């Protein structure tokens, strides 16, 4: 493999149709080339295969996974910048594709650490995670359709009976007002189809967790963690060695408070909400179950109850977030060590 140039760094601002490339020469402090490229695999591969190996910086986004993998295959060193950390770019009053690409190139040449590099997951993990994201979209669509049906019926002075979400389409058919039956029957048909697709994805997720990702078994020892949450956790992080220690799992999923200390002031802030929002939602949902009426007694439940009993504004919400953060740390620890989960380790 050819040794990459230490004097040149490139910034690539990815767009949906076109991308802007700027190559910066650090010794002279000038841009030696600026070019607009189509955001297509053939165009990108054809152009970058002709360049000598160099450092290329680009922002994380829709196209960054496949572009970064392709550039690395061609021998380039790629830095995927965290856009949440680049206020210099997204708050620039004279923002444009060329300006963004120039900033990326300069920062890469000066100090790549300023870009807060992130690591994309592999091709297989990304493909398997798509099944979970598709299921989530179908579930959310089903919820919105059910709320739509209930809202329309209420506007006509009627109410539909309570029932489980999967049984909704079959249970409420007879209770629909005559004036709305022709209007809502197509919606109920869509709901029946969604139920079938969700069941198929549930079976696929269980199969993936059992056959392709057996490490999820250790995570499912924890109450409220099923195949879906365990598989999402493993696919989102991809490797337990991605983090230096288990405590870093809280910040990784954005479950720690922001900090804005200045002088003697250190006000309380909301959580950062960094990382994958889908995984954070699953962890928060698991925490809700642990603190709910059906949650089993364990150290995690007692920890959340102590926080909720302190009172004050949003005490229950803080307890849920705290338990979700503990769950993230615990799951990483079980995954990394393979130990048996002990629900009353602290108490013992």
Per-residue model confidence as pLDDT tens digits over 146-174: 999 999 999 999 999 999 999 999 999 99
pLDDT bucket at 2, cuts 50 / 70 / 90: low
Extract the tokens encoding 5.
């140039």
Name the residue among 101, 91, 99 with its Cα closest to residue 21: 101
What is the structure's pLDDT at 164?
94
Which helix (H) or strand (E) covers residue 19, if one does?
strand 18-25
Phi-psi region of 18 (alpha: psi -120 to 50; beta: other; left: phi over 0): beta
Specify whether the CB–CB gap between 94 and 104 falls below 8 A. no
Percent of the chain with pLDDT over 90: 85
| C-alpha–C-alpha distance, residues 186 and 155, integer Å | 19
What is the structure's pLDDT at 25?
93
Please name the CATH architecture into which domain 8-115 falls: 2-Layer Sandwich (3.30)
pLDDT bucket at 111, cuts 50 / 70 / 90: very high
Each residue of 282-303: pLDDT tens digit?
999 999 999 999 999 999 999 9
Q: Where do the domains of the chain lie?
A: 8-115, 123-212, 218-258+270-337
Specify whether the CB–CB gap between 105 and 23 falls below 8 A. yes
**Per-residue CA distances from 62 to 14, 41, 93, 94 (Å):** 9, 14, 24, 23
| C-alpha–C-alpha distance, residues 257 and 250, integer Å | 10
What is the structure's pLDDT at 236?
95
Specify whether the CB–CB gap between 180 and 152 falls below 8 A. yes
Specify whether the CB–CB gap between 59 and 104 falls below 8 A. yes
Phi-psi region of 322 (alpha: psi -120 to 50; beta: other; left: phi over 0): alpha
Mean pLDDT of the 118-122 span: 90
Mean pLDDT of the 20-34 span: 94
pLDDT bucket at 1, cuts 50 / 70 / 90: very low
pTM over 0.85: yes
| C-alpha–C-alpha distance, residues 193 and 346, integer Å | 46
């Amino acid at each position: 493999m050819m040794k990459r140039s230490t004097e040149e760094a490139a910034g690539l601002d990815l767009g949906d149709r076109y991308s802007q490339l700027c190559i910066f020469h650090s010794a002279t402090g000038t841009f030696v080339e600026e070019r607009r490229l189509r955001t297509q695999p053939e165009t990108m591969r054809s152009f970058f295969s002709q360049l000598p190996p160099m450092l290329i910086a680009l922002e994380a986004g829709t196209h960054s996974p496949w572009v970064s993998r392709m550039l690395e295959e061609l021998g380039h060193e790629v830095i995927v910048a965290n856009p949440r950390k680049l206020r210099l770019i997204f708050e620039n009053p004279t923002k444009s594709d060329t300006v963004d690409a120039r900033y990326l190139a300069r920062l890469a040449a000066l100090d790549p650490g300023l870009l807060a590099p992130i690591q994309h997951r592999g091709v297989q993990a990304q493909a398997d995670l798509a099944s979970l994201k598709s299921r989530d979209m179908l579930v959310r669509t089903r919820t919105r359709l059910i709320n739509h049906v209930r809202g329309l019926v209420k506007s006509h002075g009627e109410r539909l009976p309570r029932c489980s979400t999967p049984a909704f389409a079959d249970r409420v058919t007879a209770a629909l007002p005559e004036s709305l039956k022709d209007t809502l029957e197509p919606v109920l048909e869509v709901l029946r189809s969604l139920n079938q697709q969700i069941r198929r994805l549930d079976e696929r997720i269980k199969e993936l967790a059992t056959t392709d990702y057996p490490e999820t078994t250790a995570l499912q020892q924890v109450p409220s963690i099923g195949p879906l949450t365990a598989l999402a956790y493993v696919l989102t992080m991809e490797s337990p060695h991605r983090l230096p220690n288990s405590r870093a799992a809280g910040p990784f999923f954005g479950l720690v408070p922001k900090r804005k200390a200045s002088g003697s002031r250190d006000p309380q802030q909301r959580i950062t909400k960094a990382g994958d929002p889908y995984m954070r939602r699953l962890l928060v949902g698991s925490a809700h179950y642990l603190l709910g009426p059906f949650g089993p007694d364990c150290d995690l439940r007692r920890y959340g109850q102590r926080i909720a009993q302190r009172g004050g504004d949003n005490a229950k919400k803080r307890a849920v977030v705290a338990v979700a953060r503990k769950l993230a740390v615990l799951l990483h620890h079980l995954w990394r060590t393979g130990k048996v989960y002990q629900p009353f380790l602290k108490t013992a």
